[in-house]
Amino acid sequence: MLDPAEAYKGYTAYDYLEAGKDYKEFTYAKQIGRVPAYEGLGLSAAEEERTRTLLAEETVISLHDHVQVFPEDMGQLREHIRQGREPTGYEGLSRSGITAVFDNGMDGTCCISSDAGWKYQDVLFDLGVRMADLAHQDYVIKAETVKDIERAQAEGKVAHVFALEAATMIENEVDRLDVLYGFGVRQMGIAYSEQNTLGSGLKERGDGGLTYFGERAVERMNKLGIAIDISHSGDRTCVDVIKASTMPVFITHAGARGLWPTNRMKTDETIIECAKRGGVIGIEAAPHTTLSPAHPKHSLDSVMDHFQYCVDLVGLEHVSFGPDTLFGDHVGLHHAFSSNLSISQAHGHVDYEEVEYVDGLENPAEEFYNIIGWLVKHNYSDDEIRAVVGGNTMRVLKEVWV
């Protein structure tokens, strides 16, 4: 495998265009060193070496992240989003050790033409512009198959998989799934926090479950080879989707409600049903999600409490990581788009201390070094680490991606 530092040649997003002429230029957040480095692992020299070796040599897959760079001044966020030109954080990815990342783009904040988000034309615009940028560089590979991920691993590059957090933009047009697949989308949620034509989101007062149209959409996703995600769906809808799908289903970014009782976390029933059918849960790390009684101030330790809970519940072979990080002020993003992202309904009803960032899992560049380091420190074997940072996800993809 080539060293990623050698494979990356310094390309910056939209280098093929002229800033200030072809698009409005913003000052963007640092991809490396925006916040102090995490110091909580306490690794010995031998443990540090083992951590670096595992990160460099194994297939490491993020089931859910947002690898765009956000403005340094979050007061400019909506103006930045309006022009529909999200910059990929190539520099940060080159330092991440990630083999493949499921990039969920702007989801409900893709507000190019409407503050409501989720518009079909906006999603296509967002996908198309991002793909035009990817096509002008050769470090990040647009990945659509397992072979693309294997190629990235062999060449020291990053496989970038386009994903969407909900199918809201297809409205009642099932054939739009084919269009999105043609654009390169290989993973898709059913509903975000708000209900749509497929089923219920986790914020709703009532959950009617998967609709008849939702059943058609699940069937079409199975036929196309789009991996299904139920992270933001309501409890009944989650279980309905798992049972309707002929393929294993992902919970790409969530935690356990048995550990932290918010709607954003998944019930034991949902996690168990997902695992029984071969699926995987990716442990979430976006600010103020996967807190725990033992670590109520959100940090790597809080997140790993959810990891351990899920391993104990369904077995290590059904657990992975979908950290849900980005390059920039994630808490500021939540404040700016709290209504779009249903923050209060998803995380309300439980008191917590707000943090400025999640210590140890602040961005895609640092997350997997610290995750692997924690696993090393807590005496997980190389085979166990290999499974949870990528192997379990690859097993499902080999079945789902037709």
Q: What is the pLDDT of residue 207?
A: 95
Beta strands in 206-363 (DSSP E): 227-229, 250-254, 280-283, 319-321
How much is the pTM?
0.96
Contact 323, 364 (CB under 8 A): yes
Dihedral angle computed from the Cα positions of residues 33, 35, 39 and 40, in that order, rounded to the nearest 10 degrees: -130
At 286 the pLDDT is 96
What distance in Å separates the CA atoms of residue 148 and residue 232, rounded to the nearest whole number?
28
Question: What is the per-residue pLDDT across 63-74, written as a single tens digit (0 to 9) for each?
Answer: 999 999 999 999
E-strand stretches of 238-307:
250-254, 280-283
CA distances from 168 to 98, 176, 196, 198, 231 (A): 29, 11, 6, 8, 14
Mean pLDDT of the chain: 94
pLDDT at 345: 57
List, for the chain, all residue ranges whose pLDDT scores fall below the cut of 50. Answer: 339-340
Q: Which two tokens stand for residue 17?
A: 């265009």
What Rg, from alpha-carbon coordinates, does the chain have? 19
Q: What is the pLDDT of residue 327?
A: 97
The predicted structure's pLDDT at residue 340: 47
The 10s digit of each residue's pLDDT in 81-138 is: 999 999 999 999 999 999 999 999 876 778 888 888 899 999 999 999 999 999 999 9
Asked if 298 contacts 255 with a C-beta cutoff of 8 angstroms, the reply is: no
